[in-house]
Structure 1
Amino acid sequence: MLAWTGAVRSADLREEFAISPQQASIDLRGFAQETPGVTYDEGRKCWVRNQAFDLSAAGDLEEFLGRHPSMRHRLGFEELILPWQSASASIVQTLMASRLGRIPALIEYQSITSDMPTKRVVCPHTFVVDHLIMRFRAYCRKAAAFRDFRVSRVRSASLINDQGWVDGAADREWFEFVEVRIAPHPDLTPSQAMITMDEIGLPAFGGTVRIRKAILLYLLDGLGLLEAVQAGHGRPDKFARYVCENPGELMLFLPKRA
């Protein structure tokens, strides 16, 4: 609370921990004595932080709002609700039971390249949320390899006991990492480049993101770089914000362009 809003009151502790006013005051005084950069503001009747306060352990905004849901209303937060790829609760439950119980699942999967669902025996090891899409990474007996599946495209799922389990520890692409060198598009002005790169947490001149090989495709797609990297040049058109500086290294880990 103190890190994000700059102040904390006795009432905040009482609401958060259901403690008495006396206990809240004792806790705040003890915290202030042990924490540099915390002083009491007589005018505002609250504890405030100053420049000596260490903000490095504050966490991120979503974590803060999750711990203090009432702050969404107090600060005026509004969430943009976008379509989420729906998935049957029973299918997700079956996939989770498969993962936790190490029992293969028989699924009917509707691929975008097929007119009819196909049956596959899978051994899920990780669920991946990518923007509005939930996927799971699993060993697929039909492909005899580890593959990604969209949960929303699973039409049915059931546990089966007549097939062996393939552990996710064998998924080499999941445990191997690759570095993606990202820079601002050269057509951006210096101020545009600084803002654009700051949005993804990289310096204005560019930087490196380390990511699992298995989900490289989704990172590039999210940044608008996938087609450019698949084409080998890593530079989208002039309306793009980023360029990839090492497309040749990354092409090896991506599906070929149709």
Structure 2
Amino acid sequence: MITKGKMRLDVKWATRQRLQYIEIMAWYAGVVTRSDVARAFGLSDPAATKDLKLYGDLAPGNLVYNHSVFGFVPGAGFAAVFADLTPAVVLPVIAANLAVANGPYGDGLIYGLPTASLPLPARLPNAHTLAQITRAIHDRRKLRVGYRSLSRRESGTDRILEPHTLVNTGLRWHVRAYSEDTCDFRDFVLSRVMAAECLEMAAESGGQYDDDWVEQVSLRLVPHSGLDAPARESLMLDYGVSGELIEVNVRRALLGYMLQRLGVDTTRDHSLNPHAYQLMLLNRDEIEPFAAWAFS
């Protein structure tokens, strides 16, 4: 007898993407129909029906046909076989309105769930400049950039970088790279790269040599002392923590950005508005040397 795990390995990649969509749609929308699958992946109705039948064969009992909604709903013992249904994985997929296979969706919501996000400025370089950066990372080559720094002393000069990783802080993108000018690893904001040229010379310093990238530390956070007890309790529930401490392991190079995104009061006397900065840092002395710019 072939187990579900064995059957998963025997399914082709493209088919598995459609089976993942079926599971996500069924679980989070409560129903998946033939027309859902057909529209999301640009399939004919018979092809979509074939995928739904295949799913039923591979995960018997997971989905049950409901005549009142003309589609399949999760069965009583539903358990994911193909998709990772954890909210952290699924919500970005739903927000992007994408099935994994990137089919021709048009303007319709393929998961049927309206979402919204902040209209933040793009803060990105043009496609040619970005391609030079990404090619240098991909091929592990050196990169010549014209960079506009906030520091007048350093702004506008050409630099030779050895980039190893693109980083999204949620507010902007930057590239982590070794700078030959300063002989250290730094963050370079993509929107400040005025020009870039991927060079033929091989990079000598990869991410494995970037100590602040490799090494991690633990942020030890608690609700702000300026919040009342019910607010502190609600905040811990918000972070899914049962105790009194929130611990987050993060690369040393990303510490400052993490403190910003979480809205942590980094003053020594915790003097910031607790409703705007809801968390306090317990291990400031351990963290500050690696992200001094983020501390007040």
TM-score by length of 2: 0.73
Match of 1:178 in 2: 217
The one-letter code matched in structure 1 to 2:67 is E
Match of 1:255 in 2: 292
Match of 1:151 in 2: 190
Tell me how far 1:197 sits from its aligned partner.
4.1
Give me the whole-angstrom Cα distance separating, in 1, the residues matched to 2:47 and 2:254: 48
State which drifts further: 80-89 or 213-222. 80-89
State which drifts further: 137-146 or 42-51. 42-51
Match of 2:84 in 1: 57
Structure 1 residues 92-107: aligned runs within 5 Å: 92-107=130-145
How many residues align structurally?
255
The one-letter code matched in structure 2 to 1:120 is R
Tell me how far 1:86 sits from its aligned partner.
3.2
Aligned residue among 238, 241, 253 for 2:274: 238
Percent identical among aligned pairs is 24
Tell me how far 1:73 sits from its aligned partner.
8.6
Gaps of 5+ in 2: 1-24
Aligned residue among 118, 121, 129 for 1:91: 129
User: Residue 142 of structure 1 aligns to a residue in which SS?
Assistant: coil
TM-score by length of 1: 0.83
Tell me how far 1:83 sits from its aligned partner.
1.4
Change (3 A) 1:192 1:14: same
Tell me how far 1:20 sits from its aligned partner.
5.0
Gaps of 5+ in 1: none
Tell me how far 1:174 sits from its aligned partner.
0.8
User: Residue 193 of structure 1 aligns to a residue in which SS?
Assistant: helix
State which drifts further: 71-80 or 61-70. 71-80
The one-letter code matched in structure 1 to 2:245 is G
Q: Is the 8 A contact 1:225 1:235 kept in 2?
A: no
Change (3 A) 1:126 1:42: same
Give me the whole-angstrom Cα distance separating, in 1, the residues matched to 2:271 and 2:221: 10
User: Residue 66 of structure 1 aligns to a residue in which SS?
Assistant: coil
User: Residue 65 of structure 2 aligns to a residue in which SS?
Assistant: strand
Change (3 A) 1:99 1:76: closer
Match of 1:2 in 2: 26
